[in-house]
């Protein structure tokens, strides 16, 4: 149901305006107040969260003294007057909306215009104007189809766009291809799954080589030997300004409406709630969390209208005093972003926040090693994450490792959660209530299983293990709960589109994380980073510094050519990968697979940068995971595509399970798919 005018008015901040389009608007511009400065629009324009009758428009209107000099925000803090225009054509021959807006340094000169009274499934053009003939670039947006309108929708999904680790060749390629496509093939909207900015700016790449480009110095910031990082509102605003100066990202936001959630780097790497985790002990940084949320709200056009009982639909700065728990909660309550949108009859979109309400990590760094384990085992993570609910409420008093006397530190702990109980209940309720064929879960973290089947190594006592517990793999209790609810409530058509891990991946997720015979209940397609360094580069760096036994399951090297054996470890298992690294025989490795610890996993490529495309029709989803050629050098023409992995998922009924078909490849397939035997 479209949100009412009265309800929207209650949601809006001082930098947001509620406007209605009309078919009869005069073309003459009213005069601006005397001494109104000329404006520049250095971060372009954008639109977000389209509805059948409305969309949010955005710009940053910076006052300038003359044609070359900008006023410093916060100095004299003048109120800026500007106009927004909306038209059905790019030449603005028919103006449907013309209204005066204003902004100031209080919102970093950003302004948001929520425009309703629009027609469903319609393309519109918009721009912003200031005094002395200053005008923004023209933006293009579109409304969603009505909820009773059966439409195929094409969308792009992206994540992880470090400014310095590569140029935005992925955006350039997407823009060029979309412009060349027919109308029926074009992208309707972009789903951004987080890490829009990176709060940390590293001095070099992980291998010590220079970055492609640099983020200018922070206004405040903290400097360490390895990196610089944002700590203040001015710092986070500085990052959005820098990222949005890139011409390709700016053009993408002007061409398509964006639907966005966040991951960790919009605040702090591997954060939970208002806590950063750079050091051994988590650090409460409530003011920093609130500042990062304010900057996100200022620069990301969004309509935060659900759920109706949430503390803040827009950003509302909270007093940060009292106990640590009170400060933490106040920072979280300053902005709440999980929400639901609809795109026609067949598609509902549910966006979750994987950071603000999650439990602390179930295990500290180095804990597994203290028990004599090479990494966190599946069993250890399950015990630690489930806490007092493990084994139906009978957690062990001690851990079954080492001499068996280590006290179970999670025995009295409540089960872990990534979503928090309120958001989890909202998500399950929204999924159950949806009448759409497809429920698209905009999910910052991948759900596909990515375990190492260490138990398959002969003559060892190793157990299956997890290499990264920051993602859903570190919250198996909640994964089991969610997937079991999908099965029990007979909810079908759930497709997770996820980001974060800097890899391409695809597969299905079973209702049980422990029962090898459990049927799948949803599908997950994980997209790599637009520009952030691929996962394999980090793994390679770690492997080169690790004991020799770890290296063969990560990479092999012959004549200076490095092979990403880690892909094989995920898909075919560590014994297969180890055998390949030692023998070079893919046929033998294929015979030893697949990785039984990762049922449902169909595709992994940890060497990629790129993006995803998805097409949802009534009965089928088609997904393309697009991997780019290297984008680390400056370019004038959109870089080429290295390969495309294509998948198909047919809708399934209750009692059936989703089956991901693919991958099929355009271009050279990545390792270990080149032989076609995986």
CA distances from 170 to 28, 157, 255, 311, 414 (A): 40, 12, 15, 37, 42
Confidence band for 675, pLDDT divided at 50, 70 and 90: low
Residues 461, 463, 466, CA angle at the centre, nearest 5°? 150
Asked if residues 39 and 133 have their Cβ atoms less than 8 Å apart, the reply is: no
Model pLDDT for residues 574-615, shown as the tens digit of each residue: 999 999 988 888 777 778 889 999 999 999 999 999 999 999
Q: Tell me: pLDDT of 26 over 60.
A: no
Give CA 605 to chain center in angstroms: 18
| Percent of the chain topping pLDDT 70 | 94
The answer to whether the predicted template modeling score (pTM) of the entire model surpasses 0.85 is yes
CB atoms within 10 A of CB 359: 20
Three-class SS of 429-453:
HHHHHCCCCEEEEEECCCCCCCEEC
Is pLDDT of 83 > 90? yes
* Average pLDDT of the segment spanning 77-87: 88
What is the rounded distance in angstroms from the CA atom of residue 21 to the CA atom of residue 113? 11
pLDDT at 440 over 50: yes
Residue 649 scores a pLDDT above 50: yes
- Are the C-beta atoms of residues 556 and 562 closer than 8 Å to each other? yes
Strand spans (E) along 65-163: 80-87, 95-103, 110-116, 123-129, 139-142, 153-158
pLDDT of residue 602: 96
At 66 the pLDDT is: 42
Contact 156, 616 (CB under 8 A): no
Name the residue with higher pLDDT: 560 or 392: 392
For 161-172, the pLDDT digits (tens) are 999 999 999 999
Q: How far apart are CA 611 and CA 88, in angstroms?
A: 30
pLDDT in tens, 358-380: 999 999 999 999 999 999 999 99
Mean pLDDT for 114-127 is: 97
| pLDDT tens digit sequence for 296-350 | 999 999 999 777 766 778 899 999 999 999 999 999 999 999 999 999 999 999 9
Closest CA to 42 of 73, 6, 75, 5: 73
Q: What is the pLDDT of residues 271-282, one digit of tens each?
A: 999 999 999 899
Average pLDDT, the chain: 92
Mean pLDDT of the region 385-414: 96
Contacts of 589 (CB under 8 A, 6+ apart): 568, 572, 576, 577, 579, 580, 672
- 35 or 268, which is more confident: 268
**pLDDT (tens digit per residue) in 174-233:** 999 999 999 999 999 999 999 999 999 999 999 899 999 999 999 999 999 999 999 999
> Regarding predicted confidence, which is higher, 548 or 179?
179
The Cα 444–Cα 496 span in angstroms is 9
Distance from C-alpha of 326 to C-alpha of 585, rounded to nearest angstrom:
59
């Amino acid at each position: 149901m479209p949100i009412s005018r009265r309800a929207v008015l209650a949601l809006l901040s001082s930098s947001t305006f509620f406007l209605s389009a009309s078919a009869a608007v005069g073309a003459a511009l009213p005069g601006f107040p005397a001494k109104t400065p000329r404006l520049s629009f250095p971060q372009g324009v954008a639109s977000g969260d389209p509805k059948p009758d409305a969309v949010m428009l955005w710009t940053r209107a910076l006052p300038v003294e003359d044609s070359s000099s900008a006023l410093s925000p916060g100095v004299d803090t003048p109120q800026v007057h500007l106009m927004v225009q909306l038209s059905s054509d790019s030449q603005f021959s028919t103006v449907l909306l013309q209204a005066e807006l204003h902004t100031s340094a209080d919102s970093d000169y950003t302004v948001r215009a929520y425009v309703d009274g629009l027609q469903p499934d319609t393309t519109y053009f918009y721009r912003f104007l200031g005094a002395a003939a200053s005008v923004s670039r023209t933006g293009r947006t579109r409304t969603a189809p009505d909820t009773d309108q059966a439409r195929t929708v094409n969308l792009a999904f992206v994540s992880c766009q470090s400014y310095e680790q590569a140029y935005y060749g992925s955006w350039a390629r997407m823009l060029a291809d979309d412009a060349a496509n027919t109308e029926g093939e074009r992208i309707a909207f972009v789903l951004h799954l987080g890490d829009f900015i990176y709060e940390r700016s590293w001095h070099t790449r992980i291998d010590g080589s220079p970055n492609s480009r640099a983020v200018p110095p922070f206004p405040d910031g903290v400097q360490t030997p390895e990196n610089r990082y944002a700590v203040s509102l001015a710092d986070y605003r500085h990052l959005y300004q820098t990222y949005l100066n890139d011409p390709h990202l700016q053009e993408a936001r002007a061409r398509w409406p964006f639907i966005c959630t966040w991951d960790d780097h919009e605040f702090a790497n591997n954060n939970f709630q208002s806590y950063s985790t750079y050091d051994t002990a988590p650090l409460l940084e409530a003011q920093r969390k609130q500042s990062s949320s304010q900057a996100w709200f200022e620069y990301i056009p969004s309509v935060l209208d659900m759920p109706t009982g949430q503390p803040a639909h827009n950003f509302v700065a909270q007093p940060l005093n009292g106990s640590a728990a009170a400060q933490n909660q106040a920072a979280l309550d300053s902005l709440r972003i999980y929400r639901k949108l609809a795109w026609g009859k067949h598609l509902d979109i549910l966006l979750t926040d994987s950071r603000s309400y999650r439990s602390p990590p179930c295990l500290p760094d180095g804990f597994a090693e203290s028990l004599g384990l090479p990494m966190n085992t599946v069993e250890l993570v399950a015990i630690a994450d489930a806490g007092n609910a493990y084994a139906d409420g009978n957690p062990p008093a001690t851990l079954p490792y080492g001499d068996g006397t280590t006290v179970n530190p999670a025995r009295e702990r409540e089960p872990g959660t990534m979503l928090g109980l309120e958001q989890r209940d909202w998500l399950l309720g929204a999924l159950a209530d949806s009448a759409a064929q497809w429920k698209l879960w905009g999910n910052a973290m991948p759900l596909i299983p990515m375990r190492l089947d260490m138990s398959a190594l002969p003559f060892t006592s190793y157990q299956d293990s997890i290499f990264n517990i920051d993602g859903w793999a570190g919250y198996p209790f909640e994964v089991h709960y969610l997937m079991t609810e999908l099965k029990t409530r007979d909810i079908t058509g759930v497709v997770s589109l996820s980001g974060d891990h800097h890899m391409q991946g695809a597969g299905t997720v079973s209702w049980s994380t422990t029962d090898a015979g459990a049927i799948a209940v949803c599908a997950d397609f994980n997209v790599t980073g637009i520009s952030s360094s691929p996962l394999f580069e980090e793994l390679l760096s770690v492997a080169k510094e690790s004991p020799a036994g770890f290296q063969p399951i990560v990479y092999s090297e012959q004549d200076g050519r490095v092979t990403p054996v880690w892909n094989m470890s995920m898909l075919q298992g560590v014994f297969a990968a180890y055998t390949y690294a030692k023998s070079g025989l893919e046929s033998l490795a294929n015979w030893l697979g697949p990785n039984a610890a990762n049922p449902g996993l169909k595709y992994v490529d940890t060497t990629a940068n790129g993006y995803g495309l998805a097409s949802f029709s009534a009965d089928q989803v088609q997904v393309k995971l697009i991997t780019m050629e290297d984008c680390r050098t400056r370019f004038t023409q959109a870089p080429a595509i290295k390969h495309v992995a294509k998948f198909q998922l047919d809708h399934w009924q209750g009692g059936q399970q989703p089956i991901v078909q693919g991958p099929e490849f355009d271009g050279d397939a990545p390792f270990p798919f080149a032989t076609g035997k995986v």
